[in-house]
């Protein structure tokens, strides 16, 4: 189990919760739900060593584009700079 009984950051009480974790590897992103100990005071999340190892494994898989076991879940986009600038210019024009 966890080496902590209290939050190592603030000393607050910890509670077992299922949390959503977002992992990045290369240009890919994966979202998963895992158990974590969450501090009721500051919101710090603590994971067991096994879960941390799992995160590393998933990051490695994403980097290698090894997507076995992953389901597509929408796409992540980078907003094009030119397009973004145009939008901002329009806003400026409208607001005078």
Question: Residue 86 CB, nearest distance to Zn ion (Å)?
Answer: 44
Distance CA 62, CA 59 (A): 5
Q: Is 68 exposed, middle or buried (0-12, 13-18, 19+ CB in 10 A)?
A: exposed
Give the residues across from 30 on adjacent strands: 23
Q: Does 44 bind Zn ion (CB under 5 A)?
A: yes
Q: Does 10 bind Zn ion (CB under 5 A)?
A: yes
Q: Does 40 bind Zn ion (CB under 5 A)?
A: no
Q: Is 12 exposed, middle or buried (0-12, 13-18, 19+ CB in 10 A)?
A: middle
Q: Does 58 bind Zn ion (CB under 5 A)?
A: no
Q: Does 8 bind Zn ion (CB under 5 A)?
A: no
Question: Residue 22 CB, nearest distance to Zn ion (Å)?
Answer: 21
Question: Residue 96 CB, nearest distance to Zn ion (Å)?
Answer: 47
Q: Footprint of Zn ion on this chain (CB under 5 A)? A: 7, 9-10, 12, 39, 41-42, 44
């Amino acid at each position: 189990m966890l080496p902590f009984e209290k939050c190592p950051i603030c000393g607050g009480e910890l509670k077992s919760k299922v949390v959503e974790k977002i992992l990045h590897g290369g240009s890919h992103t994966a979202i998963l739900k895992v158990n974590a100990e969450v501090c009721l005071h500051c919101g710090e999340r603590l994971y067991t060593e096994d879960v941390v190892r799992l995160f590393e494994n998933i990051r490695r898989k994403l980097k290698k584009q090894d997507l076995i076991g992953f389901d597509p879940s929408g796409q992540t986009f980078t907003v094009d700079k030119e397009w973004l600038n145009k939008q901002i210019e329009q806003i400026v024009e409208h607001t005078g």
